[in-house]
Amino acid sequence: MTEIKLHNSRSRTKEVFTPLDPQNVRMYVCGPTVYDRAHLGNARPVVVFDVLYRLLRHVAKTNGWGKVTYARNFTDVDDKINARALASDRRIEEITAETTQWFLDDMAALGALEPDHMPRATAYIPQMITMIEGLIEGDHAYAAEGHVLFRVRSYKQYGGLSGRSVDDMIAGARVEVAPFKEDPMDFVLWKPSDATQPGWDSPWGYGRPGWHIECSAMSYEILGASFDIHGGGNDLMFPHHENEIAQSCCAHPEGEFAQVWMHNEMLQVEGKKMSKSLGNFFTVRDLLDQGIPGEVIRFVFLSTHYRKPMDWTAEKAAGAESKLDDYIKSVAQYGDLEAARSTAPMDEIVQALADDLNTHAALGRLDHLANHAMGTELAANLVFLGLFSFEELEARVAQLQSGKDGLAPLAERLGQVRAAAMASKDFSEVDRLKSALLEAGVEVRMSKEGVELVPGPNFDPSRLEGLS
């Protein structure tokens, strides 16, 4: 049996994870608002909870649990989307369909598995209306001027997640001031729409849901009134997650909503908060288009614990690319990819992840496998951590072997030139050939045994044309 320990944001302690129903381990993660490309910060929770999903699926098999159900939503009704539609003169449905696919493609490039459920808010409007009606009936919400608002003080435990009282929150809180509110902290469950905005008929008029009710309705429909894990970035803890708890527990008092709350820390770039004004804001697609592979981005993410701020730097990316290239070479030299498909993940790596997703420690064990020529095990664990699929490893190994075969004549040529230089003491031709090889991204290894040429991560065979 593998014991998993996770840091629960609500209790602020690391707890042993015990599924509510071992036959159906359930996790919900807040997904993106789809109006543009996902920036690098958007990708961090995707990678964090993808690792947890992989861990849960593995442990479910070894512990005799049943299935793991992972849901991550798409917010496809939002004022930012409305603004983008007006500015671009495009239909909202067209924008959300395009940006949703962008998100899926970019996250797949980072090795993220698709969740079991990816609900879109617009597909659950009736369920949201039903939940709002129940809140009104229970005196937890009220209608006013085409709006419906949640009565925050009706839920006595409000603030339990973020650790603040309602009165403390009011000062400086990001709340919308409106004359129809009974209390400044009350938040919107439903709001009216005009002719330029998306809307649906409801008992309170033509309108659209507030952001918070979306996740509560979708998680209830897919996972039930109680489920195991709720995740997201720590910027969502208040007000979004706090509001989710309040409305969900009041709408379904028979349940307890999420058992464990997990939040990842934010991302920086070169030691500074990512912002367009600083010129250090970029999307995942920007990095991919610059030639930075998805596995490199994922490796950099995993190098820092999810509950610590992560600093993206060019130096870290270069180091990750070099490290992953070394792993590929080790797999190619010592591994059996067919055997790797049936090789279990290394126990030390599983235990590291089971200790509140200690991905840094898990990556350190990859070095152990590479340094001890355990290529088959290395391949299995690279796949377990989502850095490569087996198909990607096979392609990379084949590419490496093809490159080495193509470099064989040049290795022989350099060996001959080097032997002549040893006798003449004139190494100018050796230096010329070596320099050309290095510029083409070839790693040159010369020893008493001879010359070995290995294509590096930036190998460009076109730069070797005509070299003799």
As a residue count, the chain comes to 468
The two tokens of residue 17 are 């994870």
Does the pLDDT of residue 359 top 90, yes or no?
yes
Does the pLDDT of residue 248 top 80, yes or no?
yes
CB atoms inside a 10 Å sphere around CB 196? 9
d(CA 432, CA 128): 70
Does the pLDDT of residue 174 top 60, yes or no?
no
The two tokens of residue 106 are 């970019």
Give the torsion sign (CA, 376, 381, 382, 383).
positive
d(CA 243, CA 180): 19
Q: Which of 256, 262, 187, 185 is nearest to 219 (CA)?
A: 256
Give the containing element (helix H, strand E) for 26. Answer: strand 24-29
Does the pLDDT of residue 35 top 80, yes or no?
yes
Average pLDDT estimate for 208-233: 97
d(CA 71, CA 232): 12
Average pLDDT estimate for 186-201: 95
Q: What is the pLDDT of residue 355?
A: 98
The chain-wide mean pLDDT, for the chain, equals: 94
Average pLDDT estimate for 454-467: 80
pLDDT in tens, 315-357: 999 999 999 999 999 999 999 999 999 999 999 999 999 999 9
Does the pLDDT of residue 177 top 90, yes or no?
no
| DSSP notation for 300-358 | HHHTS-TTS-EEE-HHHHHHHHHHHHHHHHHHHHH--HHHHTTPPPPHHHHHHHHBT--
Q: What is the pLDDT of residue 410?
A: 87
Share of the chain above pLDDT 70, in %: 98
Q: Is residue 387 very low, low, confident or very high in pLDDT (cuts 50, 70, 90)?
A: very high
> Which residues are 147's β-sheet partners?
144
Does the pLDDT of residue 468 top 90, yes or no?
no
Higher confidence at residue 362 or residue 442?
A: 362
d(CA 389, CA 324): 13
Q: What is the pLDDT of residue 170?
A: 63
In contact, 97 and 238? CB cutoff 8 Å: no
pTM of structure = 0.91
The two tokens of residue 318 are 């270069």
Indicate the burial class of 237 (C-beta count within 10 angstroms; 0-12, 13-18, 19 or more): middle
Q: What is the pLDDT of residue 343?
A: 98
The two tokens of residue 409 are 């004549």
Average pLDDT estimate for 280-292: 94
Does the pLDDT of residue 28 top 80, yes or no?
yes
d(CA 285, CA 288): 5
Cα-flanking dihedrals φ and ψ of residue 334, to 5°? Answer: -120, -5
In contact, 184 and 173? CB cutoff 8 Å: yes
Q: Is residue 464 very low, low, confident or very high in pLDDT (cuts 50, 70, 90)?
A: confident
Q: Hey, what amino acid is at 427?
A: F
Please give the span between the terminal C-alpha atoms of the chain, in angstroms, as a whole number. Answer: 60
Is the bond into 239 cis (omega within 30 degrees of 0)? yes
**E strand spans, 362-410:** none
The two tokens of residue 335 are 């591994």
Q: What is the pLDDT of residue 63?
A: 97
Q: Is residue 171 very low, low, confident or very high in pLDDT (cuts 50, 70, 90)?
A: low
